[in-house]
Structure formats: structure tokens, C-alpha cells
Amino acid sequence: MSRLPRTLLYLVFAVILLSGSFPVGEPAIGVNWGTISFHRLKPSTVVDLLKDNKIKKVKLFDADPDALTALVGSGIEVMVGIPNEMLAALSSSTDASDLWVRQNVSRYVFKGGADIRYVAVGNEPFLTSYSGQFQSFVVPALLNLQQSLVKANLAGYVKLVVPCNADAYESSLPSQGAFRPELSQIMTQLVSFLNSNGSPFVVNIYPFLSLYGNSDFPQDYAFFEGSSHPVTDGSNVYYNAFDGNFDTLVSALNKLGYGQMPIVIGEVGWPTDGAVGANLTAARFFNQGLINHVLSNKGTPLRPGFPPMDIYLFSLLDEGAKSVLPGNFERHWGIFSFDGQAKYALNLGLGNRLLKNAKNIEYLPSRWCVADPFKDLTNVANHLRIACSVADCTTLDYGGSCNGIGAKGNISYAFNSYYQLQMQNAQSCDFDGLGMVTFLDPSVGDCRFLVGVTDHKKSLAFRPTHRKTTIWISILWWMWFFLMS
């Protein structure tokens, strides 16, 4: 058979490109690396953690220079983020977009440098709760940034995307999915831009939030083992919320004429603490089910055999300084704890059967701050309020892993969280004489009292530790705790 003329091949490729029908390869598993922590692990430690677990794709929420420097030469594909608050400036000035590209993309993209493949322009900028405050900036920012990438000779390699929350579209059935009416015009512009530049549509899907926010939501529909309450949509039957949500987006894109556009899942996961249903067992069950489902290449009813292009698990590490406005679970999405220790067994399908822990973590001494058993704790409320306003006490609330340790246990947990955050400074365990330092781990059952970790820059994260050194005052505290509980 004679080969097609080169001009004809180019024509075929152009038709495919313009039709929005992009080739779809094997789905890849990546992670979101968030850094909203009181203090952070060294970026080089985090990159080593990614490499040890064979994770080849990472999504950042900004263009943190320390993280990007650590990723140089790692071979890990990177999606850098632009916060919503920067969209206004980038939409109004090509000078601003040129500068941003130079500082945050060009300087890292060189032979052997950081492998930046995507720039996320905003993060869920169309979220309903934002009341449209970022909406008008998105497309102008995209256009300016695209020009800046062209000037930098990077437009053919670095693609612009806009991560959207699943509330951008709506429907009672997947086949009837459509973008929210007020977003119709801007979504038409957005997907046209994505299609023209070979970019996927990025969406964040959270079955946990559907379950958390709706008492009537069938619990088994959030997972991947089948449901006793499947959704029937014509000839299609949906047995899990992820597929139903994904196909609702497919239908919404199809209504705009881009039904074949590749879709990347920018965020998906399950928290391990801070709410009813947020626990280690459920998180492992969901994430492992998700990974197995996506890597099976089964696809969805509207895209059989074509799973998402990539999925980025949310998230790599817990972030103890995140806002808890959506819920206390916000600080507990990580598949690893703050110090890079795996929370549960998980096979990412990337070569390692189980997660590997971060290495060479420097821990603070095995000591804790607890309530002094010999002191009157009647007036401790203000100390508790101050400690928990600074440190993370979200595990103490209803549904949390430390919710059942009693009032005195709550006091000690709050004291210790503050003490570890202050690098075990002796004065930080005073609390007007109500606190004391113990060398015996006060953890109770699943409730782990944390011990800090430090790096050479004296940054701090946390870890549960089981090392015990017994002294007489620690024993007295334990006796008091059990006698008074």
C-alpha cells in the first residue's frame, strides 16, 4: 500500500484537531501537592517521596519557587497554578502575563529542568459561592497568557487549563447535563479556546461532598463496588457517583459541540478525619476503588473504553492550616500525613504495591504536653480557645478520631497540638500552670497525640509517634486520666 502524501496527512491531522477528537492514551495517576500548612516538609523531601512512589504527575496550586526548584530534573510532569486573586491583573495586562510566564514557567523549563506541562488558570473560578467575582477575568487571562507562551516559544508544549468545580454543570440525569445557564456564554468561549489549543477540560469531582452535604444521598453510590440505588438513565445504568458526574460533564460538553474533548480529573479523593464518614477505612475504600476503576479502562456509559485522560488524587499530604469553613475534614485529605508517612495501604497501580513513606525525617524528641492532673481545670476554656485558634484541633469535633476521649483528653490534645507547633518550647506548655510535659505517649486508641518533625530550616509538620519513655510524672498523668474519665 502506498503511503499517503504528506499534505494529506497534515490535512487529516487538522480535521481531527478541529473536531475536538483528541487521541486518548492510558490514564495516569497524579497527586495534588498542597502547601497550606503551619510549616512544611522540605520540598526536596516531598519530591523524593513522589519519586519513591513512582508518581509521575503533580499538580501545584501556585508556582512556588521552592517546589519548582525541587522538581527540576525529577522527570515529574508538573501543573502549576495561578490563584484566582491574580486573574484580574493577568486579564488586563499582557505585560503582567509576560512577566508571570518568565518568572514561573520559562525560568524552569530548560533541558533537564522542570517538566511543566500545564498552567492552571485559576482554581474553580466559577464556583457558585464566589458569586461571579472571578468569572469575567478567566477568558481574557487565558488569551493574554497564551500570547505570552507564544512569545516564550512554549505554546506548543505548555498548555493552559481552567480547573472547574463540578457545580459548573447540572442535571438530574447524566444524559441531560448542561452548564449552568449563567455560564453558557463563557463556557462556550472556554471550551473553544481549550479545543483550539489542544488542552483538556479539567474538573474536580468529590463524591464525599455529595454524601456529606445530603443526608438522602445513598452511601454506597459514593463508592465503586456497586449500589443498591443505581441511577437509570435510558439504556444506561450508573452504579457510582463518579461515573454519573463525569457523564453529566460529557453531556454538557456535547451540547456545546465538544463531546469528544479529553477530560482530566484535577481533584478527587476522600478525607480521613474531621467528619462522620471521613476515616481511614472509607478513604482507602474510595481511593483504591477509584484507581482500580480508572485503570481498568472501562470508561463510563457515555465514553465506554475511554476513561479520564489523567486523575490527580486530592491530596498528597494533609494541610493543617487550611480553612475549615467547608468542614473540619478540609485538613485531612492526604494519602500521607504531614511527615510523609502513609496513612493506609494503597496501590496506585504505578509499580509499587503499597505506598512508601518519606525518608530521613528529623523528629522532635518524644515528649508531649498534657493537662497537669493535680491542677484545677475549671478555668481552662480560654486556654483551649487560644490553643485551638493557632493549632489544629479538628480531630476533636464530632466525627473526628479524637472525639471520644473525654473533656480532659480534649484539653491535653489541644495543649499538645499547640506545644508541638511551637517546637516544644517549654513556655508553650505552661498555660498558666495547667500544662505539663510527659514522656509517655498519651494517645488513646485511634486518637494519636502528635509529635513534631523539623528540618534544617526549623519548619514543622506533625506525626503520630509510638516511642515511649517512662518517668514517674507520666505514669501519674495516665493514672489520673483513667481514674477521672
Residues annotated as part of the active site = 124, 267
- Of the candidates 64, 65, 87, which has an alpha carbon nearest to the alpha carbon of residue 139? 87
What is the C-alpha to C-alpha distance for residues 71 and 51, in angstroms, rounded to an integer?
10
Q: Which DSSP helix (H) or strand (E) runs through 437?
A: strand 435-438
What is the C-alpha to C-alpha distance for residues 416 and 396, in angstroms, rounded to an integer?
13
- Of the candidates 103, 106, 175, 97, which has an alpha carbon nearest to the alpha carbon of residue 137? 97
CB atoms within 10 A of CB 53: 25
SS3 of residue 373 by DSSP = coil
- Cβ-based neighbours of 199, under 8 Å, separated by 6 or more: 118, 159, 160, 161, 193
Q: Locate 193 and state its grid cell.
A: 479556546
Q: Are strands 178-179 and 362-363 parallel, antiparallel or unpaired?
A: unpaired
Orientation of helix 184-196 relative to helix 138-151, angle to 10°: 10
**Across the chain, how many H-helices and E-strands are there?**
13, 20
Which amino acid would we find at residue 362? E
Q: Residues 216, 208: contact at Cβ < 8 Å? A: no
| Distances 3 to 6, 8, 9, 14 between C-alpha atoms, Å | 9, 10, 10, 18
